[in-house]
Amino acid sequence: MQVFGATPPRATTLMLRVYNGSLVYYSTGPVLVPNIYNRWFKLNVIHDVDAAKLKVYIDGYLKLEAKGRADTSHAFKCGVYAQFSDSCYMESRWKHLKVLRECD
C-alpha cells in the first residue's frame, strides 16, 4: 500500500511492502508484521497532512508512527509491483476499502 505525494526526490510519503513474508515500512524499515502471507488482516492508515504524521494500525494495534514527506497533493494505491527476486505469482486482495476525510 502506498500513499503518493512527497517532496522530490521522493515520490511517496508512505510505502508498506512485503519482503520474505514480512510486512515492512519501505524496504529497509522496521518489520510491522512477520509471516503475513496467506491471511487476512485489517489495515488502517491515518494520514494527518497538516501535522505531517502517519499512523499505521494492523488488526487494531498501532504498528508505526512516521513523519509525512510534505507535498500538498496525495493519492493512494493498493496492489503489487515486481521487486527484487520476484516470482511468477504475485497477488494482493483487498476488500471493504474506505477513504474517510476530515471536512472543514
Q: What is the pLDDT of residues 52-102, one digit of tens each?
A: 899 999 999 999 999 988 777 888 888 887 766 777 777 888 889 888 887
Q: Which of 56, 53, 64, 5 is CA-nearest to residue 30?
A: 64
pLDDT of residue 29: 84
Mean pLDDT within 17-43: 90
- From CA 43, how far away is CA 29, in angstroms rounded? 17
Q: 58 near 36, Cβ under 8 Å?
A: no
CA angle 3, 7, 13 (to 5 degrees): 20
- From CA 73, how far away is CA 6, in angstroms rounded? 8
Amino acid at 91: E
